[in-house]
């Protein structure tokens, strides 16, 4: 906004203006002259805050939840979401917001449990952090899940889960719940008969796309989920190829999961990456319009977010809000899975990025985040 004169500033504080501003609000009318400075910021000012949830906290609370809730007796899924403390004012339930746009959660399925099928207008994804032996069934395809696998369930596809193995399974869920809620686009439908039964071969899409660099003839037209499960060993192979060359100074050795029919993000509204940072690698700081939720799949280290140090290790989750400076440091060989809202920003043509120029690309540390139950 242009600089205003002292005379104008004083006039805006006068009773003529303040009385009028108060008067119109009783008729549900709003004074733009008051609102503009706060809602049309020069640069993004998200209400979401940088925050970290420790593996110890998650394990403790999920262990307690396992004693109380089953998938049938607790809202279809035993999931605990990461509520950003800056967004608790959103009613109801903070809109389940981990960032402005993204919902992220941990879900646990015990051996023998079933989570009934349903479908909704939110797009979902999951990253398997611990365990094996459960399958998800998406549109009639049973997909067996192992540690490090990344799966997608874009909007309006039927999906449910069953655990036929012996150890509890934990995975990260991420959806565009706050985005869909804010734009009034929510639809949800339970499946009539509990868990949908398979009607195509197991692991069908993963087998069809096993080649990686080739796709089945006839699949050149867009479909929302031609590949439903991105296997860990294939992701690692992609990263190993990058490691033959110099790392990206801002991202280390990082790949993004894509829809093989388009080359765009695997999920239509959420971007996803796997990032390898070798021991002692220190990324250069960046900020960008989009927000990110990280999950530490392996390793340990710390990130500096707007000058505050966030120590992390395997099993932790943390948030980098929109337009926050951030950089990562690996104390040991680390793998970071992350979810971002780049596809949403791109849809609005809002994505911007800046590199931190001073101090050789590294921030000065001014504080340290203390995680609960560390
Ligand atoms: Fe769901």
Let me know whether 92 and 34 are in one domain.
Answer: no
**Per the domain annotation, does 301 fall within a domain?**
yes
Residue 59: per-residue pLDDT: 96
Per-residue pLDDT, 173: 98
Provide the pLDDT confidence category of residue 71 given band limits of 50, 70 and 90.
confident
DSSP 2-64: ----HHHHHHHTSHHHHHHHHHHHTTT---HHHHHHHHS-SS---S---EEE-HHHHHHHHHH
Q: Does residue 329 fall inside a structural domain?
A: yes
pLDDT tens profile 302-342: 999 999 999 999 999 999 999 999 999 999 999 999 999 99
User: Ligand 1 centroid to 136 CA: how many Å?
Assistant: 11
Instruction: Measure the CA angle with vertex 160, ends 158 and 161; round to 5°.
Output: 155
Q: How far, in Å, from the CA of 48 to the mean position of ligand 1?
A: 24
Would residue 1 count as lying in a domain?
A: no
| Ligand 1 centroid distance, CA of 155 (Å) | 9
- Same domain, yes or no, for 10 and 145? no
**Residue 136 token pair:** 């998800």
Domain contains 81: yes
Rounded distance, CA 79 to CA 74, Å?
9
Q: Could you read off the pLDDT of 192-234 as tens digits, one per residue?
A: 989 999 999 999 999 999 988 899 999 999 999 999 999 999 9
Same domain as 170, residue 27: no
* Statement to judge: residues 147 and 17 lie in one domain: no
Confidence at 121, pLDDT banded by 50, 70, 90: very high
Look at residue 349 and tell me whether its pLDDT is greater than 70.
Answer: yes
Rounded mean pLDDT, 73-79: 77
What pLDDT shows up at residue 73? 64
38 CB-contact burial (10 Å; exposed 0-12 / middle 13-18 / buried 19+): exposed
What is the CATH classification number for the domain harbouring 289?
A: 2.60.120.10
CB 175 within 8 A of CB 122: yes
Question: Do 30 and 123 fall within a single domain?
Answer: no
Query: pLDDT digit string (tens) for 5-15?
Result: 999 999 999 99
Domain co-membership, 26 together with 137: no
Cα–ligand 1 centroid distance for 222 (angstroms): 23
Residue range 146-155, pLDDT digits in tens: 999 999 999 9
| Count of structural domains, the chain | 2
* Residue 130 burial by Cβ neighbours in a 10 Å radius (0-12, 13-18, 19+): middle
Share of the chain above pLDDT 90, in %: 94
Do 64 and 201 have their domain in common?
A: yes
Residue 23: domain span: 6-39
* 193 and 150 both lie in a single domain: yes
Asked if residue 299 belongs to a domain, the reply is yes
- Asked if residue 241 has pLDDT above 90, the reply is yes
373 inside domain: no
From the CA of 79, how far away is ligand 1's center (Å)? 11
- Residue 117 CA to ligand 1 centre (angstroms): 8
Q: Above 90 in pLDDT, residue 130?
A: yes
**In a shared domain, residues 124 and 154:** yes
Helix (H, G, I), strand (E, B) or coil at 259: coil
Would the pLDDT of 1 be above 60? no
* pLDDT tens for each residue of 259-280: 999 999 999 999 999 999 999 9
Question: Same structural domain for residues 23 and 109?
Answer: no
> Do residues 341 and 276 share a domain?
yes
Separation of CA 256 and ligand 1 centre (Å): 23
* 374 occurs within a structural domain: no
Note whether 158 and 13 are same-domain residues: no
Say how many Å lie between the CA of residue 122 and the centre of ligand 1.
Answer: 8
Ligand 1 centroid to Cα of residue 114, in Å, is 13
> 55 alpha carbon to ligand 1 midpoint, in Å?
23
Q: Does residue 125 lie within any of the structural domains?
A: yes
| Of 141, 135, 190, nearest in space to 165 by CA | 135
Query: Ligand 1 centroid vs 337 CA: distance in angstroms?
Result: 20
């Amino acid at each position: 906004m242009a600089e205003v004169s002292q005379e104008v500033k004083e006039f805006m504080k006068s009773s003529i203006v303040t009385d009028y501003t108060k008067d119109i609000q009783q008729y549900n009318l709003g004074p733009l002259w008051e609102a503009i400075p706060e809602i049309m910021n020069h640069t993004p000012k998200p209400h979401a805050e940088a925050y970290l949830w420790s593996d110890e906290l998650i394990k403790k609370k999920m262990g307690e939840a396992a004693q109380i809730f089953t998938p049938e007796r607790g809202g279809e899924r035993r999931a605990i979401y990461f509520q950003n403390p800056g967004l608790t004012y959103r009613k109801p339930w903070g809109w389940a917001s981990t960032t402005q746009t993204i919902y992220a959660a941990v879900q646990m399925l015990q051996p023998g449990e079933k989570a009934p099928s349903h479908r909704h207008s939110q797009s979902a994804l999951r990253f398997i952090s611990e365990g094996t032996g459960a399958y998800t069934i998406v549109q009639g395809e049973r997909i067996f899940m192992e540690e490090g696998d990344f799966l997608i369930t874009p909007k309006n596809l039927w999906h449910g889960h069953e655990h036929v193995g012996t150890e509890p399974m934990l995975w990260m869920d991420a959806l565009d719940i706050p985005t869909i809620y804010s734009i009034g686009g929510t639809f949800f439908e339970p499946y009539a008969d509990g868990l949908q039964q398979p009607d195509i071969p197991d692991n069908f899409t993963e087998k069809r796309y096993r080649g990686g660099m080739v796709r089945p003839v006839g699949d050149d037209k867009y479909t929302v989920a031609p590949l439903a499960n991105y296997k860990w060993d294939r992701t690692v192979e992609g990263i190993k190829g990058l490691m033959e060359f110099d790392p990206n100074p801002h991202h280390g050795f990082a790949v993004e999961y894509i829809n093989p029919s388009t080359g765009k993000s695997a999920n239509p509204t959420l971007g996803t990456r796997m990032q390898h940072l070798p021991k002692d690698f220190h990324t250069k700081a960046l900020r960008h319009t989009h927000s990110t939720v990280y999950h530490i799949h392996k390793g340990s280290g710390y990130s500096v977010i707007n000058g505050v140090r966030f120590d992390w290790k395997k099993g932790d989750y943390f948030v980098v809000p929109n337009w926050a400076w951030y950089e990562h440091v690996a104390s040991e060989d680390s793998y970071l899975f992350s979810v971002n809202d780049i596809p949403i920003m791109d849809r609005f043509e809002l994505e911007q990025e800046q590199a931190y120029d001073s101090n050789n690309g590294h921030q000065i540390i001014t504080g340290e985040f203390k995680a609960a139950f560390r």
